[in-house]
Chain A
Amino acid sequence: MSQASSPAPRPTVALFVTCLVDLFRPSVGFATAQLLEQAGYSVDVPEAQTCCGQPAYNSGDRAHAKQIAKQVIATFREYAHVVVPSGSCAGTITAHYPDLLRDEPDWAQAARDLADRTWELTRFLVEVAQVDLPTVDHKTTTTYHDSCSGLRELGIRSQPRQLLGRVNGLQLREMADTDVCCGFGGTFCVKYPDISERLVSNKVDNIAATGADMVVAGDLGCLFNIAGRLHRLEKPVRAYHVAEILAGTARSEPAIGEGDRS
């Protein structure tokens, strides 16, 4: 073939932005959308989305969790792919909706169907999109925090590291106990604040021990917890969502918990 093949037109991707990104860090949503567009997809953000229902589900409130799950399933019914910039929320949809709705066969089927179409962002980029994204430069020493749901429910470990490996100037330094929880745990962090504080302190110690100037993760829950503790202890480590680094928007955006001097 002599002609350069233009990439096949790609389907529209729905962005499930998650409640935390929606409320607290829209820049992650924009970075995600940018990455998806750069990968050749057009991006839809259905307005009817709010939350995946995990707070109810993990609190034992099955009835409400089911209602919300059904709403999410209905909202994203039409899309070939649903991409989520969070291992935790993607995990709720893929690993838990089918079980949550197991008593209602039609809904359980629809839940399995949605589960098959739902992807955590980094995994989607590596395993589905499979394109070389534009190069970005970011000179930094970074350590990566694996969120528990991403790691254990979705098998996300190599994907973000592979993507970060392509950022010019970014040097990755692994911390000890990468597979140990940061202590966020959704409502856990406010129900058992002193235990949670111990866990996040351990995490912050491990982060600091790497000497990295930045910590990156794929889940805003963990990042808020970690950044909150880093700031309280006045440690000079900046926290970003992996999407912001990959999209190259981190350099123009204050890190999580940092003031806006502009």
Chain B
Amino acid sequence: MESRAHLFKPAAREALHNPDLQQALTRVQAGFVGKRRTLVNKFPDFEGLRDRGQAMKDHTLAHLDYYLEQFEAKVHEAGGHVHWAETAEDAQRIVADICRQADARMVTKGKTMAGEEVGINEALDAAGLETVETDLGEYIIQLAKEPPSHIIAPAIHKTRQQICDLFDEHHHQGTFKEKLREVPDLVNEARGILRGKFLNADVGITGANCLVAETGSMFLVTNEGNGDLTHSLPRVHVAIAGIEKLVPTLDDASTLIRLLARSATGQEMTAYTTMVTGPRRGDDTDGPEEFHIVLLDHGRTNMMSGRFREMLRCIRCGACMNHCPVYASIGGHAYGWVYPGPMGSVLTPIFVGLDKTKDLPNACTLNGRCQSVCPVRIPLPDLLRDLREAQFDQHLTPGTTRHGLAVWAWFARRPRVYNALSRLGIGLLGRLGRRRGRFRRLPLAGAWTAGRDFPAPQRTTFQAAWRQHLSRRQTHE
């Protein structure tokens, strides 16, 4: 997918003034935050579970070559194919080739963020295939020709009214069907249309929530059941997964799923959690004849050596964006690429390039709420700060900021000069603002005073007043 992250500022401004989007975003809070909290409070030792999740993922990443090889051998044993994709182009070519060899005409897709990352849909379009997204949210945004705005609720930016309009435009053309209004009707209509697609698809493409080295299996977690219809009905099942999705054992997969379900949707278990291992067995009466798994690097190995390896623990639960006040204000599209919110602000600069994503690491107050809910304890604010440092080192930080910091630091390291000058400046500002107590406008502070008054300082600096206080005290004693 093409990145639009360099347009963050205008996109964010537009989002803040988009009433439909703002209406839709109020639901993020209501839908996810409360449900997660209830379940976390109910769990006897959720902090311990997070520790274990972190330790398990760290261990896996530190031995990723071992677990990848073990996984590959087990997939082969089960009769599946393993493909290795270093780049987005590799992944596109591999998937397009599989479809071509299968003589495919129609492809159904379950939600896959790795697939979004490498632009699988574009590749399938180019190969002349009909591709149908089957997750209801993905289906809605496919009709709207928009990218997802949330990693687990891709259409969260859409209001019901907008979805009614979309369905009317796409489903009712040339019919006398009335425009739908209610959620059950919308869901039902999509169900009917997509059922036909499921039954006629030649290839089904899904992502994977984790890959299990012990058995060569992949786990797929959904609530709709679309993932299962996607992998069970067509002749060929292709799964795309980043290499960081490995976990060692089935027990580890259970740890991960306990974390994922609670952190993502606030459920103890999604309606469908499925462990898929290879293609249809000899005497099976349904299921695909071929199973392919595409193991995607796409920059992940570059993250293995430094601090950003921590980001590879990410299990794509979306909790960080659900709890991010910036995401809640501007939604996912402003971030400009596949992954929005805190995790996206770390990943996009790494995948797309620091120079094309200058705003992302900075558009954050470093309030740390994301880190406090991340099921695998990724220190997202620290990683964002590290990216700011990389920007600074590569001279991507704006000149005004750099110089401002240099001047300020010069003073900050010279307390005498600093104290003398600040006393003067504050004395002046204090006198000016004393009566009213605040400024509606101030030179050089336009960004602040656009939406806020600027509280006036008190008469003098603390340092100056304290010295006075001390000498007064001495004379008294």
Contact = CB atoms under 8 A, between A and B. Distances in A.
Contact of A68 (B368, B412, B454): B412
Interface stretch (B242-250, B287-295, B460-468): B460-468
Contacts of B415: 47-50
B398 to A, nearest CB: 9
A31 B309 CA distance: 45
Given A51-B412, A194-B16, A257-B437, A199 B325 contact: yes
Nearest to A259: B437
Contact of A228 (B413, B454, B457): B454
28 contacts: A24-B455, A33-B466, A47-B467, A49-B415, A51-B412, A53-B409, A56-B405, A56-B408, A61-B409, A62-B389, A67-B409, A68-B409, A181-B365, A185-B364, A190-B445, A190-B447, A191-B447, A192-B12, A192-B363, A194-B450, A195-B363, A199-B329, A199-B365, A202-B325, A228-B448, A228-B452, A258-B438, A259-B438
Interface stretch (B76-84, B102-110, B418-426): B418-426
Interface residues of A, number: 73
A148 B369 contact: yes
Interface string B231-247: 00000000000000000
Nearest to A49: B415
Contacts of A27: 458
Q: From DSSP, what is the main secondary structure of chain B's interface residues?
A: helix
B455 A259 contact: no
B38 interface: no
A209 to B, nearest CB: 15
A229 B452 contact: yes
Interface in A37-77: 45, 47-51, 53, 55-62, 64, 67-68, 71
Interface in A97-132: 99
Nearest to A185: B365
A152 B365 contact: no
B463 A224 contact: no
B365 A184 contact: yes
Contacts of A80: none
Interface string B404-435: 01101101110110110010001000000011
Nearest to A43: B466
A228 B438 CA distance: 8
A71 B226 CA distance: 60
Interface string A228-254: 110110000000000000000000001
B453 A57 contact: no
Query: Chain B interface: which size bin?
Result: 35 or more
A60 B462 contact: no
Contacts of A71: 412-413
Nearest to A188: B365
B270 interface: no
A160 B387 CA distance: 34
Contact of A198 (B329, B366, B448, B457): B329
Given A148-B365, A225-B452, 18 more contacts: A23-B457, A25-B457, A29-B462, A30-B469, A56-B409, A60-B385, A152-B371, A153-B368, A180-B367, A184-B365, A193-B447, A194-B16, A196-B365, A199-B365, A200-B452, A228-B448, A232-B452, A260-B437
B98 interface: no
Contacts of A47: 415-416, 419, 463, 467
A224 B12 CA distance: 24
Contacts, number: 214
A99 B379 CA distance: 13
Contacts of A148: 365-369
A256 interface: yes
B391 interface: yes
Contacts of B422: 22-23
Contact of A23 (B409, B416, B426): B426
B434 A259 contact: yes
Given A194-B12, A194-B16, A59 B437 contact: no
A200 to B, nearest CB: 7
6 closest A-B pairs by CB: A185-B365, A228-B452, A60-B388, A197-B451, A60-B392, A181-B367
B186 interface: no
A68 B435 CA distance: 35
